[in-house]
Structure 1
Amino acid sequence: MNPYLDIFSIGSQKEFEKITLKVFRHQYEHNQVYQDFCSLLKKDKTNVKSLEEIPFLPIQFFKSHAVLSTSNPIQETFTSSGTSGMISSKHLVTDLSLYEQSFRKAFSQFYGNSEDYVILALLPSYLEREGSSLIYMVNDLIESSNHPESGFYLHNYDELVQQLIKIDSSGKDVLLIGVTYALLDVVEKQTFQLKNTIIMETGGMKGKRKEIIREELHEILGNGFGVSAIHSEYGMTELLSQAYSLGNGIFECPPWMQILIRDTEDALTYVDFGKTGGINVIDLANINSCSFIATQDLGKKYPNHSFEVLGRFDSSDIRGCNLMVV
């Protein structure tokens, strides 16, 4: 058993910081890609003493390198969708049980037992390709829900509409997880007054529609489904953990995941609470790849560790990180 896998029992900020620094030293020693990157920034095991001093690997590296902190065999390769012609990110996963523990525990923390829900998934862009970590997670939740009505939908919107109305009106609790553009397609076909359903959007138009701001999106979806709040999931191929928003676009992380907000002009410094910057993610479930990821997303962080996602850097293909020039 890896000595660092007490990540799921973290109970305080002090404990999080202690384990995070252990994970940093472990990955510095065992991940050559990460060690080389740290060396460019003149960082090593001796001069990193706090979370703010840890180097965050630009997410772009998952496109160009095998990011691994172990020599164990690869069990699964998760790939990003990307738009056509773009190089996909590859997350090489050597221990699927870590991913399963992470998403099951996080889901349970925010939503309770998956058995208590009929889980409907409207994820066409993800279903139509191989290697989606989101499909892996949702499929597991559907199987554990133990409701025969739970399942995936591709383009069969009419069937989904009928099922959703029928199950919601029966009084069962429903969770509809959908890619943003497909949820918009549904409410253009039908308006609802749902009483027992949570709508969770996983973000992204996947090139199918024009991007719109979150407030406008959630207003359209809230009105269309007849619900007071739209929930959101924040995850990506390069992470084995997810943050969740139960409404208003404010995300919270499970105890083994945190974010820092870097200055957009100087990627090695951090901005104050409430200020906009680039999102850096600490994901301790990434123990076997890299737990310190500089994303291409813009956001704000608040004193209680919650955060907002405000959009992406303009030069999305360089993943918004001026560390790429070092």
Structure 2
Amino acid sequence: MTGSALPELQQAIERLLAFLAQDGCTDAEFDEVAAQLFTLQYTHDEPYRRFCQRRGLTPRRLAGWRDIPPVPISAFKDSTLSCVPPDECERVFMTSGTTRGEVRGRNHHPVIAVWDLSMRRNFARRFMQGAPRMRMATLFPDEGELPNSSLARYLSLASRSFGAPGSRAYVSAAGGLDVEGVCRALGDAVAAGEAIALMGASFSFVHLLDALRERGIAFTLPAGSRILDTGGYKQQAREVPLDEFYDGLAQAFGVPRARCINMYGMTELSSQLYDDGNAAVPSVKSGPHWIRTRVLDPLTGREVAPGERGVLAHCDLANFNSATTILTEDVGVAVPGGFLLLGRAEGAEAKGCSLAVQAFLEAARP
């Protein structure tokens, strides 16, 4: 890694790694790190600087993290948001490209250590919940097959960091879902009386549930077993209502819905948010101390009143190289302890998101 951003970047990375490793933070500490990263991005990320200038915000005028202008996620498809040249980045994650054909968003990571620490710290607390290791069956290709997929990295890192012997992926890019292999792994767990974690994209679970139903197979996995789904179908499976989906998981695997945990994340972020199970839906989602969420009116950019629906904007301090604060296209409502995810933006909310993208592109254009 070379370039003019190197000294400030190294300092920011060192500070950020220490910040992620600590247990919690005060509002003042969060604002301090957010301000340091905003200055870094404002100085070295030219499209973002022009966007902020159009908004009338400079590092000197930043009062707190809520002032940081959120970048619409679609902007990652049209602009290179990075403090260092892309070819100097250790890893580049790319979106699936399902919404605009082959146009894919990119999130650049000069070093992957920050992303990895963010994932491990949060995963250990929210999913492992004190268990040091357990056998993991992953319903998604390994990152060796999909090196530009943040989800492949996430699930592979989970398996390497927390998986017991026998953990492996049961989906390949070439061969698809290995139903027989998954069934053997689950059967072995039942026979041994050892808890197992079943993890993957929601569309993979739909395919597995359909396959088990066709075969007339169901499991009662040992106590402590749990399921992690990562949401979304990306046109790769039929969409299933949430209650039906989690009922299906509970019936097929004998895992209580309270042990069926959903991870909410995206390529444009460097951290993930979780619920504490899906005994009821929608479930309350929240993140670690280095990410904070606001609910905005996309037409005005202002925070909506408590209890009102709006578009989610996340300030993720682990996203240090591109933009800490992004405007999603997800609708939610703030509730005690986090937020409820209500679906994708439609109607006026979707129009507001489109206008936000247009405003970014007009401001970022040289």
What does 1:180-195 correspond to in 2, within 5 Å?
180-188=202-210, 189=212, 190-195=217-222
Q: Deviations over 1:215-245 (max 9, x none)?
A: 3322332233222222011111111111111
Residues 141 and 152, structure 2, Cα contact 8 Å, conserved in 1: no
Asked whether the 8 Å contact 1:259–1:280 carries over to 2, the reply is yes
Question: Hey, what's the Cα distance between the residues in 2 that align with 1:323 and 1:252?
Answer: 25
Following superposition, which runs of at least 4 residues in structure 1 exceed 4 angstroms of deviation?
112-115, 124-130, 315-319
Letter in 2 for 1:191: A
Query: Could you tell me which residue of structure 2 aligns to residue 44 of structure 1?
Result: 58
Instruction: Give the whole-Å Cα distance in 1 for the aligned partners of 2:346 and 2:116.
Output: 33
Indicate the residue corresponding to 1:165 in structure 2. Answer: 187
TM-superposed deviation, 1:322: 2.7
1:87-136 CA distances to partner (integer Å, 9 max, x unpaired)? 11111110111111111111122224674211111015988644111111
- In structure 1, what residue type is equivalent to 2:246? H
CA apart distance, 1:45: 2.0
Quick one: distance in 2 between partners of 1:126 and 1:294? 27
Cα 1:169–1:270 change in 2 (3 A) is farther
Unaligned runs of 5+ in 2: 1-9, 172-176, 360-366
Corresponding residue number in structure 2 for 1:323: 356
1:308 counterpart SS class: strand
Give the alignment of 1:15-54 within 5 angstroms.
Answer: 15-54=29-68
The C-alpha deviation readout for 1:255-305, integer Å capped at 9, x for no partner, is: 111111111432x1011333211111111111122111111111122233x
1:202 aligns with 2:202: no
Question: For residues 107 and 165 of structure 1, what CA distance do their matches in structure 2 show?
Answer: 26
Question: What displacement does 1:167 show?
Answer: 1.1
User: Distance between the aligned counterparts of 2:195 and 2:351, measured in 1?
Assistant: 41
Aligned to 2:94: 79
Q: Which residue of 2 aligns with 1:104?
A: 120
Aligned-partner Cα distance in 1 for 2:226–2:237: 23
Conserved? CA contact 1:314–1:320, under 8 Å: no
- Unaligned ranges ≥5, structure 1: none
Q: Distance in 2 between matches of 1:312 and 1:118?
A: 34
Matched residue, 2:7: none
CA contact (8 A) 1:179 1:203 kept: yes
Match of 1:132 in 2: 149
Q: Which amino acid aligns with 2:194?
A: K
Which residue pairs with 1:295 in the alignment?
328
Secondary structure class of the residue paired with 1:233: strand
Report how many aligned residue pairs link the two structures.
324
Q: Distance in 1 between matches of 2:237 and 2:206?
A: 10
Deviates more, 1:224-233 or 1:87-96: 224-233
Are the structure 2 counterparts of residues 136 and 159 from structure 1 closer, same or farther at C-alpha, using a change threshold of 3 Å? same
Percent identity of the aligned residues?
26
Does residue 7 of structure 1 match 2:19?
yes
| C-alpha contact (below 8 Å) 2:140/2:170 kept by paired residues | yes
Alignment partner of 2:346 out of 295, 314, 319: 314
The one-character-per-residue Cα deviations of 1:143-185 (angstroms, maximum 9, x if unpaired) are 2335221000111112202211321442323211111122122
Asked which structure has the greater CA Rg, the reply is: 2
> Which 10-residue stretch deviates more, 98-107 or 272-281?
272-281
In structure 1, the partner of 2:272 is: 242
Cross-structure match for 2:6:
none
